[in-house]
Amino acid sequence: MDAPIKLLLCEDDANLGSLLAQYLTAKGYNVDHRPDGRQGLEAFRQGRYDLLILDVMMPHKDGFSLTREIRQMDEKVPIIFLTAKSMKQDTIAGFQAGADDYITKPFSMEELILRVNAVLRRARGITPADETPTRFTIGGFQFDARKQTLAHESGTEARKLTTKETDLLRMLCLHANGLLTRTEALKQVWGDDNYFNGRSMDVYIAKLRKYLAADPRVEIINVHGKGFRLITKEEGS
């Protein structure tokens, strides 16, 4: 029998933290609850977790700072933010810090479970995409979706990609030189094509452009109002 999925929950509200921990435990998860960002970071350094649920506003270390430090150690572990903030710039800042999803309080327990399960499925690659290719040549790059690596022919060290970066680049590769619509990308990678997910995707597209900039033959083009094209130009063109 598989071991229970282990979650790190960082929530400074004692009542909410206890409630979330009890509910997630009842759903079969192994939950480690920490009351602030500093203790959360220490727990992460000492343990191994399948997913992190982090409050944004916490004493000693906020969720953004905690996520940035965790991403220095682990680029792949899925992270969901909990926050009372609903400002667009806070949502974007969360995704830029390295979050995979974002839930604004108040939220239902059912929504939390659905998001946890969806993020875990994406992180573990449990999708029909397993039947599609996992290795791609993009100009001078070799992209291995299964290993989540992007390597350049120059011989520089392969870049480790996050789960969302991998999923989005894979979809672009599967639609190479054709159109990947925003709606398709959002539904396949984020599970929903709402406004906040759309802004998150724009952040990830910008990251992928930066990674691919080493090869002038490769370009991700915006198709206004429709989506994106991954273009690989021939030498000398």
pLDDT tens, position by position, 181-214: 999 899 888 888 888 889 999 999 999 999 999 9
Domain with CATH 3.40.50.2300 in the chain: 6-124
Structure tokens belonging to residue 29: 């998860």
Give CATH for domain 6-124. Answer: 3.40.50.2300
Task: Give the Cα separation of 138 and 212 in Å (integer).
Answer: 9
Say if CB 215 and CB 141 are below 8 A apart.
Answer: yes
Predicted confidence band at 153 (pLDDT cuts at 50, 70, 90)? Answer: confident
Asked if residue 129 has pLDDT above 70, the reply is no
pLDDT score for 130 = 43
Compute the distance between CA of residue 181 and CA of residue 225 in angstroms, rounded to an integer: 9
- CATH 1.10.10.10 residue spans of the chain: 128-232
Residue 42: its pLDDT value, please? 96
Residues 23, 6: Cα–Cα separation, whole Å: 14
Domain 128-232 has CATH 1.10.10.10: yes
**Percent of the chain topping pLDDT 90:** 53
- Cα separation of 51 and 65, whole Å? 17
Task: Report the DSSP pairing between strands 218-223 and 180-181.
Answer: unpaired
Edge to edge, the sheet with strand 141-144 lists: 135-138, 141-144, 149-152, 159-160
pLDDT score recorded for residue 206: 96
Q: How far apart are CA 112 and CA 22, in angstroms?
A: 13
**Cβ atoms of residues 132 and 120 within 8 Å:** no
